[in-house]
Amino acid sequence: MGRLAGKVAIITGTARGIGRAVARRYLAEGAIIYAADVVEDELCKEVDDLCRQGHRVTACPTDVAAEEDVASLVQRVLDEQGCVDVLANIAGIIFFKAVDETSIEEWDRLLGINLRGPFLLARAVAPHMKSAGRGAIINVSSRAGVVGSAREAAYCASKFGIEGLSRALAKDLEPYGIAVNSITPGIPIHTAMSETTYTEEARKIWKDPRVITPAFVQLALQTPIGIHNQYVNAWELSERLRREGWS
Protein backbone atom coordinates (compact mmCIF):
# COMPACT_ATOMS: atom_id res chain seq x y z
CA MET A 1 0.00 0.00 0.00
CA GLY A 2 2.81 2.38 0.90
CA ARG A 3 0.96 5.38 2.33
CA LEU A 4 3.78 5.76 4.86
CA ALA A 5 6.60 4.62 2.61
CA GLY A 6 9.96 5.64 4.06
CA LYS A 7 8.52 7.52 7.03
CA VAL A 8 10.36 6.98 10.33
CA ALA A 9 8.07 6.45 13.29
CA ILE A 10 8.53 5.97 17.02
CA ILE A 11 5.63 4.04 18.53
CA THR A 12 5.36 3.41 22.25
CA GLY A 13 3.45 0.56 23.85
CA THR A 14 4.17 -1.70 20.89
CA ALA A 15 4.38 -5.02 22.73
CA ARG A 16 0.61 -5.29 23.07
CA GLY A 17 -2.80 -3.98 22.13
CA ILE A 18 -3.28 -0.79 20.18
CA GLY A 19 0.45 -0.08 19.98
CA ARG A 20 1.15 -3.45 18.41
CA ALA A 21 -1.72 -3.10 15.95
CA VAL A 22 -0.61 0.39 14.91
CA ALA A 23 2.99 -0.73 14.47
CA ARG A 24 1.90 -3.59 12.23
CA ARG A 25 -0.28 -1.30 10.15
CA TYR A 26 2.45 1.30 9.80
CA LEU A 27 4.86 -1.42 8.65
CA ALA A 28 2.33 -2.66 6.11
CA GLU A 29 2.14 0.93 4.84
CA GLY A 30 5.94 1.03 4.33
CA ALA A 31 7.09 2.86 7.47
CA ILE A 32 10.34 2.30 9.35
CA ILE A 33 9.41 1.62 12.97
CA TYR A 34 11.24 2.01 16.26
CA ALA A 35 9.11 0.02 18.66
CA ALA A 36 9.32 1.09 22.29
CA ASP A 37 7.95 -0.72 25.32
CA VAL A 38 9.00 -1.53 28.87
CA VAL A 39 7.84 -5.18 28.49
CA GLU A 40 11.11 -6.28 26.90
CA ASP A 41 10.48 -9.99 26.36
CA GLU A 42 7.14 -9.49 24.61
CA LEU A 43 8.49 -6.57 22.61
CA CYS A 44 11.50 -8.49 21.32
CA LYS A 45 9.39 -11.51 20.40
CA GLU A 46 6.98 -9.33 18.46
CA VAL A 47 9.78 -7.49 16.66
CA ASP A 48 11.63 -10.71 15.86
CA ASP A 49 8.48 -12.06 14.21
CA LEU A 50 8.06 -8.88 12.17
CA CYS A 51 11.69 -8.82 11.10
CA ARG A 52 11.38 -12.39 9.82
CA GLN A 53 8.55 -11.12 7.63
CA GLY A 54 10.93 -8.60 6.10
CA HIS A 55 9.76 -5.46 7.88
CA ARG A 56 12.05 -2.62 8.93
CA VAL A 57 11.44 -2.52 12.67
CA THR A 58 13.75 -2.17 15.67
CA ALA A 59 12.98 -3.17 19.25
CA CYS A 60 13.81 -0.42 21.75
CA PRO A 61 13.16 -1.47 25.35
CA THR A 62 12.20 1.83 26.96
CA ASP A 63 10.65 3.16 30.13
CA VAL A 64 8.94 6.22 28.69
CA ALA A 65 8.83 7.84 32.13
CA ALA A 66 12.65 7.79 32.35
CA GLU A 67 14.33 10.80 30.77
CA GLU A 68 17.53 8.86 30.04
CA ASP A 69 15.65 6.06 28.27
CA VAL A 70 13.75 8.53 26.10
CA ALA A 71 16.91 10.46 25.20
CA SER A 72 18.67 7.22 24.21
CA LEU A 73 15.70 6.09 22.12
CA VAL A 74 15.42 9.31 20.15
CA GLN A 75 19.19 9.61 19.69
CA ARG A 76 19.32 6.07 18.31
CA VAL A 77 16.62 6.87 15.77
CA LEU A 78 18.43 10.04 14.70
CA ASP A 79 21.79 8.29 14.47
CA GLU A 80 20.38 5.51 12.31
CA GLN A 81 17.75 7.37 10.25
CA GLY A 82 18.52 11.06 10.56
CA CYS A 83 14.93 12.06 11.27
CA VAL A 84 11.72 11.32 13.12
CA ASP A 85 8.62 11.79 10.99
CA VAL A 86 5.97 10.40 13.33
CA LEU A 87 5.67 10.03 17.09
CA ALA A 88 2.76 7.90 18.34
CA ASN A 89 2.46 8.01 22.13
CA ILE A 90 0.35 4.93 22.81
CA ALA A 91 1.84 3.39 25.98
CA GLY A 92 -0.48 3.60 28.96
CA ILE A 93 -1.59 1.94 32.19
CA ILE A 94 -4.67 2.15 34.40
CA PHE A 95 -5.86 1.20 37.86
CA PHE A 96 -9.09 1.82 39.74
CA LYS A 97 -8.84 3.28 43.22
CA ALA A 98 -10.53 6.07 45.12
CA VAL A 99 -8.30 9.08 45.54
CA ASP A 100 -7.78 8.40 49.27
CA GLU A 101 -6.72 4.83 48.48
CA THR A 102 -4.17 5.87 45.84
CA SER A 103 -0.56 5.84 46.97
CA ILE A 104 1.95 8.45 45.88
CA GLU A 105 3.93 5.68 44.17
CA GLU A 106 0.88 4.53 42.18
CA TRP A 107 0.04 8.10 41.20
CA ASP A 108 3.60 8.86 40.11
CA ARG A 109 3.93 5.65 38.08
CA LEU A 110 0.65 6.13 36.19
CA LEU A 111 1.24 9.82 35.51
CA GLY A 112 4.81 8.96 34.58
CA ILE A 113 3.80 6.57 31.82
CA ASN A 114 0.61 8.24 30.63
CA LEU A 115 1.63 11.91 30.73
CA ARG A 116 5.32 12.44 31.56
CA GLY A 117 6.28 9.94 28.84
CA PRO A 118 4.47 11.76 26.01
CA PHE A 119 5.92 15.06 27.26
CA LEU A 120 9.48 13.68 27.33
CA LEU A 121 9.15 12.17 23.87
CA ALA A 122 7.56 15.26 22.34
CA ARG A 123 10.27 17.42 23.89
CA ALA A 124 12.97 15.13 22.52
CA VAL A 125 11.68 14.96 18.93
CA ALA A 126 10.44 18.55 18.61
CA PRO A 127 13.80 20.21 17.76
CA HIS A 128 14.42 17.72 14.96
CA MET A 129 10.91 17.95 13.54
CA LYS A 130 11.16 21.75 13.68
CA SER A 131 14.46 21.67 11.78
CA ALA A 132 12.90 19.41 9.16
CA GLY A 133 9.79 21.55 8.90
CA ARG A 134 7.48 18.56 9.17
CA GLY A 135 6.22 15.85 11.49
CA ALA A 136 3.19 14.36 13.18
CA ILE A 137 2.64 13.74 16.89
CA ILE A 138 -0.25 11.50 17.94
CA ASN A 139 -1.18 11.25 21.62
CA VAL A 140 -3.58 8.53 22.71
CA SER A 141 -6.28 9.96 24.92
CA SER A 142 -9.57 8.55 26.16
CA ARG A 143 -13.10 9.46 27.08
CA ALA A 144 -11.49 9.78 30.51
CA GLY A 145 -9.70 12.82 29.10
CA VAL A 146 -12.95 14.75 28.79
CA VAL A 147 -15.26 13.13 31.38
CA GLY A 148 -14.28 12.30 34.94
CA SER A 149 -15.10 8.93 36.49
CA ALA A 150 -15.18 7.55 40.01
CA ARG A 151 -12.12 5.56 41.12
CA GLU A 152 -10.08 6.95 38.19
CA ALA A 153 -8.51 10.06 39.70
CA ALA A 154 -5.01 9.23 38.45
CA TYR A 155 -6.08 7.94 35.04
CA CYS A 156 -8.44 10.86 34.38
CA ALA A 157 -5.79 13.32 35.49
CA SER A 158 -3.34 11.77 33.04
CA LYS A 159 -5.75 11.86 30.11
CA PHE A 160 -7.05 15.37 30.87
CA GLY A 161 -3.34 16.23 30.95
CA ILE A 162 -2.84 14.64 27.53
CA GLU A 163 -5.58 16.89 26.17
CA GLY A 164 -3.91 20.00 27.58
CA LEU A 165 -0.48 18.88 26.44
CA SER A 166 -1.75 18.16 22.93
CA ARG A 167 -3.48 21.52 22.57
CA ALA A 168 -0.37 23.37 23.77
CA LEU A 169 1.98 21.36 21.54
CA ALA A 170 -0.27 22.06 18.58
CA LYS A 171 0.08 25.80 19.16
CA ASP A 172 3.84 25.59 19.77
CA LEU A 173 4.62 23.42 16.75
CA GLU A 174 2.10 24.58 14.15
CA PRO A 175 4.45 27.29 12.76
CA TYR A 176 7.00 24.58 11.97
CA GLY A 177 4.72 22.37 9.88
CA ILE A 178 4.11 19.81 12.63
CA ALA A 179 0.63 18.37 13.16
CA VAL A 180 -0.39 17.41 16.69
CA ASN A 181 -3.56 15.53 17.60
CA SER A 182 -5.00 13.49 20.43
CA ILE A 183 -7.01 10.37 19.61
CA THR A 184 -9.53 8.28 21.52
CA PRO A 185 -10.47 4.74 20.41
CA GLY A 186 -14.14 5.73 20.20
CA ILE A 187 -15.36 2.16 20.72
CA PRO A 188 -14.48 -0.64 23.15
CA ILE A 189 -11.21 -2.21 22.00
CA HIS A 190 -9.99 -5.65 23.06
CA THR A 191 -6.56 -5.23 24.66
CA ALA A 192 -4.73 -6.64 27.66
CA MET A 193 -5.78 -3.52 29.58
CA SER A 194 -9.44 -3.80 28.63
CA GLU A 195 -9.52 -7.45 29.71
CA THR A 196 -9.13 -6.14 33.26
CA THR A 197 -11.31 -3.04 32.99
CA TYR A 198 -14.28 -3.55 30.67
CA THR A 199 -17.73 -4.52 31.85
CA GLU A 200 -19.50 -7.59 30.49
CA GLU A 201 -21.62 -5.32 28.30
CA ALA A 202 -18.55 -3.63 26.79
CA ARG A 203 -16.97 -7.01 26.10
CA LYS A 204 -19.95 -7.96 23.97
CA ILE A 205 -19.11 -5.25 21.44
CA TRP A 206 -15.35 -4.82 21.80
CA LYS A 207 -13.33 -4.98 18.62
CA ASP A 208 -9.85 -5.94 17.57
CA PRO A 209 -7.51 -2.92 17.72
CA ARG A 210 -6.77 -3.34 14.02
CA VAL A 211 -10.11 -1.73 13.18
CA ILE A 212 -8.95 1.70 14.40
CA THR A 213 -5.49 1.69 12.78
CA PRO A 214 -6.56 3.55 9.60
CA ALA A 215 -7.10 6.63 11.77
CA PHE A 216 -3.53 6.42 13.04
CA VAL A 217 -2.26 6.18 9.46
CA GLN A 218 -4.29 9.22 8.45
CA LEU A 219 -2.98 11.28 11.38
CA ALA A 220 0.60 10.31 10.53
CA LEU A 221 0.10 11.95 7.13
CA GLN A 222 -1.17 15.28 8.43
CA THR A 223 0.23 18.81 8.42
CA PRO A 224 -1.23 21.81 10.29
CA ILE A 225 -3.41 22.60 7.27
CA GLY A 226 -5.07 19.19 7.56
CA ILE A 227 -6.29 17.46 10.73
CA HIS A 228 -4.54 19.37 13.48
CA ASN A 229 -5.14 20.29 17.12
CA GLN A 230 -8.10 17.89 17.26
CA TYR A 231 -9.50 15.28 19.65
CA VAL A 232 -10.05 12.53 17.08
CA ASN A 233 -12.46 9.62 17.38
CA ALA A 234 -10.44 6.74 15.91
CA TRP A 235 -13.44 4.52 15.20
CA GLU A 236 -15.39 7.23 13.38
CA LEU A 237 -12.41 8.34 11.31
CA SER A 238 -11.46 4.75 10.45
CA GLU A 239 -15.03 3.98 9.36
CA ARG A 240 -15.05 7.07 7.14
CA LEU A 241 -11.76 6.05 5.58
CA ARG A 242 -13.09 2.56 4.89
CA ARG A 243 -16.12 4.06 3.17
CA GLU A 244 -13.68 6.05 1.03
CA GLY A 245 -11.91 2.87 -0.04
CA TRP A 246 -9.20 2.31 2.54
CA SER A 247 -8.63 -1.36 3.23
DSSP-derived secondary structure for 213-243: HHHHHHHHT--TTSS-S-EEEHHHHHHHHHH
| φ, ψ (nearest 5 deg) of residue 244 | -85, 0
Rounded distance between C-alpha atoms, residue 149 and residue 98, angstroms = 10
The per-residue pLDDT for range 78-119, each reduced to its tens digit, is 999 999 999 999 999 999 999 999 999 999 999 999 999 999
Q: What is the pLDDT at residue 1?
A: 63
Query: For the chain, which domains are there?
Result: 8-243 (3.40.50.720)
Rounded distance between C-alpha atoms, residue 97 and residue 150, angstroms = 8
The per-residue pLDDT for range 216-234, each reduced to its tens digit, is 999 999 999 999 999 999 9
What's the mean pLDDT in 199-209?
81
Whole-angstrom CA distances from 101 to 46, 105, 111, 120 are 36, 12, 16, 28
Length of the chain: 247
Query: What percent of the chain is helix, strand and coil (3-state, nearest 5)?
Result: 55, 15, 30
The per-residue pLDDT for range 161-187, each reduced to its tens digit, is 999 999 999 999 999 999 999 999 999
Q: Is 155 in the active site?
A: yes
Q: What is the pLDDT at residue 202?
A: 75
Per the prediction, the chain carries an average pLDDT of 95
The per-residue pLDDT for range 8-29, each reduced to its tens digit, is 999 999 999 999 999 999 999 9
Q: What is the pLDDT at residue 205?
A: 74
Catalytic residue from among 34, 155, 198, 231: 155
| Burial 200-217, CB ≥16 within 10 A → b, else e | eeeeeebeebebbbbbbb
Q: Can you give the pTM of this predicted structure?
A: 0.96
Percent with pLDDT over 70 in the chain: 100
